Amino acid sequence: MSVYKMTRYTLATSIFNRLTGLILSVGLIVLIYWLMAVASGARAYEHAHEILSEGVFKLVYAGLLVAFCYHLVAGIRHLVWDTGRGLERAQSKRSAGIVVAVSIALILLFGYWLFLAGGRAS
């Protein structure tokens, strides 16, 4: 921890990165349920499809999308930090803004694709 010069931007983005990692871990449970249903046959798959198609799960999927996009971009930032680059206060503040901006761009792009464009079944 002494290598990193922690600022409020660094702390906030790092804590949010850990939080999104936890959210993705919970999302893994949903994925495992779906995979087990697929492997268990048509009847189990139909039952899982009914449950996972409920409106509340669309919110879950949207939350997982947000968590994934942020965690991906912030993880890349952490990899850069592991090389010893970007640790100064100004660089850290700038990279925090970049993480948020790129995450929002990915969320909008993937959200459009998944929920509005080609991601829907006809």
Flag whether 120 is in a domain.
no
The pTM assigned to this predicted structure is 0.82
Q: Is residue 58 part of a domain?
A: yes
Q: For residue range 51-88, list pLDDT tens digits in order.
A: 999 989 989 999 999 999 999 999 999 999 999 998 88
Note the pLDDT of residue 14.
86
Q: What percent of the chain has pLDDT over 70?
A: 90
Residue 122, domain member (yes or no): no
Q: For position 74, which CATH number holds?
A: 1.20.1300.10
Total structural domains within the chain: 1
In a domain, 48, yes or no: yes
Residue 2 lies in a domain: no
Rounded to a whole number of angstroms, the CA Rg of the chain reads 18
User: Does some domain include residue 3?
Assistant: no
121 in a structural domain: no
- Position 4 scores a pLDDT of 54
What pLDDT was estimated at residue 92? 87
Asked whether residue 87 is domain-assigned, the answer is yes
The pLDDT score that the predictor gives to residue 119 is: 57
Query: What is the distance between the alpha carbons of residues 101 and 66, in angstroms, rounded to a whole number?
Result: 13
Q: Tell me which residue range forms the domain holding 99.
A: 8-115
